[in-house]
Structure 1
Amino acid sequence: MALSDADVQKRIKHMMAFIEQEATEKAEQIDAKAEEEFSIEKGRLVQAQRLKIMEYYEKKEKQIEQQKKIQLSTMRNQARLNVLRARNDLISELLNDAQLRLARTAADPEAYQRLLYKLVFQGLLRLLEPEVTVRCRPQDRLLVEAAVKKAIPEYMTVSQKRVKVQIDREVHLAVNAAGGVEVYSGNQRIKVSNTLESRLELSAQQKMPEIRKALFGANPNRKFFI
């Protein structure tokens, strides 16, 4: 049975409507898929950027924390150095004051004479040499001669050795020195420094732990005591 033109047109319109519907649905599916993929990609990018931002600020926070620790450590070290410097300055002032007081020792001739004898006698015993040279301040020559005369027999009694002592008349201790003597072996290769300055320095070295404890208290970090 042949179709009329009207039927043909009707079927064509129906097929076109169907195709158009299919195309619309397909387009909607593509749009939906694209939107979904866009959302997924956008979420991935946002998350990636969020992680980068978090990592950046975590890194910055760690850097700031590290800088704070370094600054705090630097400040503590500086404070410790300042304390040590102040303590050393105080000790230096005390030693300078003690050295100034040494100059007063020679002001008492009798006490200074006894001290010179002990210093000469100790020098002889430390050297145990047959020939010895003694140096002193020019203004102490007579006092030192008397000290030597007294020390020689005492030395011979204690050491059972003879000794020849001469006072150096060419080389002297400084006029402005605090006092005391230097005792040399005959060849002058060995020296015993018994000046008042050297005795003060030696005493300060030996007594420094006690001095520091008296001034600043016991060191809590010190574990061994000799």
Structure 2
Amino acid sequence: MALSDADVQKQIKHMMAFIEQEANEKAEEIDAKAEEEFNIEKGRLVQTQRLKIMEYYEKKEKQIEQQKKIRMSNLMNQARLKVLKARDDMISEMLSEARQRLGNIAKDPARYSALLDGLILQGLYQLLESKVTIRCRKQDFQMIQASIQRNVPIYKMAVKINMEARIDQDNVLSPDISGGVEIFNGNGKIKVANTLESRLDLMAQQMMPAIRMSLFGANPNRKFLD
């Protein structure tokens, strides 16, 4: 039975509608698949970038923390240096005041004479020479000569050696020092410095640990005291 043109057109329309429906369904399927893949890829990219951002800021945070530690360490070192400088300045002022007070010793003849006896006799024992030369301030010549006359016999009796001591009147010590003597052996190559300033410096060096402990207390970082 032959189909009429109307039937043919109807079937064609039906087939076209079926094809269009299949095409729409396929397009929707593709869209859904693309959307799913897009969301998966977007999630992966977001997660990757989130991790990168987290790693970046963790690294930055560690850098900032390290810089903070370095800064704090530098500030603490600067503060420690300032404290040490303040302590050194205090000790320097104390020693400077002590040097100024040395001048008062020579103003007391009895005290200064007894001190000279000790300084000269100590120098003689240190040198153990048969001839020595003593340098002093010009204003101390008389007092030094008297001390020599008193102490040479004591030295001879103690060491059983004859000894001659003389004052070097050509090379005198500066009048600016507080007093004391310098004693040389016979050829002038060995010197015992027993001026008041040199004795103060020696005592300050020996007593510095005790001075620091007295002024600032014990150092917790110091393991040995000698």
**Would the TM-score normalized by the shorter structure come out above 0.5?**
yes
- Which residue matches 2:169? 169
Say how many residue pairs are matched: 226
2:14 maps to 14
What residue in structure 1 maps to residue 213 of structure 2? 213
Alignment match, 1:194: 194
Q: Which structure 2 residues correspond to residues 85-96 of structure 1 after superposition, within 5 A?
A: 85-96=85-96
Matched position secondary structure for 2:184: strand
**Aligned counterpart, 2:36:** 36
Whole-Å Cα distance in 1 between the matches of residues 88 and 209 of structure 2?
Answer: 13
Match of 2:53 in 1: 53
> Tell me, what secondary structure is at the counterpart of 2:177?
coil
Residue segments in structure 2 that go unaligned for 5+ positions in a row: none
SS in 1 for 2:106: helix
Deviation at 1:2, TM superposition (A): 3.9
Residue in structure 1 matched with residue 98 of structure 2 by the alignment:
98
Letter paired with 2:143: L
Q: Cα distance, 1:31 vs. partner? A: 0.9
Aligned-residue CA RMSD (Å)? 1.6
2-structure distance, mates of 1:25, 1:218? 90
TM-score by length of 2: 0.93
Per-residue deviation, 1:76: 1.7
Shift of 1:44: 1.8
Shift of 1:199: 0.4
Alignment partner of 1:154: what SS? helix
Q: How far apart, CA to CA, are the structure 2 residues paired with 1:61 and 1:219?
A: 36
Q: Secondary structure at the match of 1:174?
A: coil
Deviation of residue 177 (structure 1)?
A: 0.4
* Residue deviations 1:138-185 (CA, integer Å, cap 9, x gap): 111111111112221111111122222221122111111010001111
Which residues of 2 match residues 60-139 of structure 1 at below 5 A? Answer: 60-139=60-139
Shift of 1:207: 1.1
Q: Distance between the aligned counterparts of 2:14 and 2:186, measured in 1?
A: 139
Aligned residue identity for 1:88:
D
Q: Give a deviation string over 1:20-39, Cα, whole Å, max 9, x none.
A: 12211111111111111211
Q: Give the letter aligned to residue 221 of structure 2.
A: N
1:77 CA displacement: 1.6
Q: Which residue of 1 aligns with 2:146?
A: 146
Could you say what secondary structure the match of 2:187 adopts? coil
Is residue 5 of structure 2 the alignment partner of residue 5 of structure 1?
Answer: yes
How much does 1:12 deviate? Answer: 2.2
Q: Report percent identity of matched pairs.
A: 63
Q: Any unmatched runs of 5+ in structure 1?
A: none
Find the aligned partners of 1:45 and 1:156 in 2 and give their Cα distance. Answer: 102
Where 1:102 maps in the other structure, the secondary structure is: helix
Q: Aligned equivalents of 2:126 and 2:3: distance in 1?
A: 147
Preserved CA contact (<8 Å) 2:209 2:225:
no
Deviations 1:101-124 (A, max 9, x none): 110110011221111111111111
**Separation in 2, partners of 1:189, 1:89:** 36
* Shift in Å, 1:3: 3.5
Stretch deviating more after TM superposition (5-14 or 188-197): 5-14
Following superposition, the deviation at residue 205 of structure 1 comes to 1.0
Q: Which consecutive segments of 4 or more residues in structure 1 shift more than 6 A?
A: none
Equivalent position amino acid for 1:184 in 2:
F
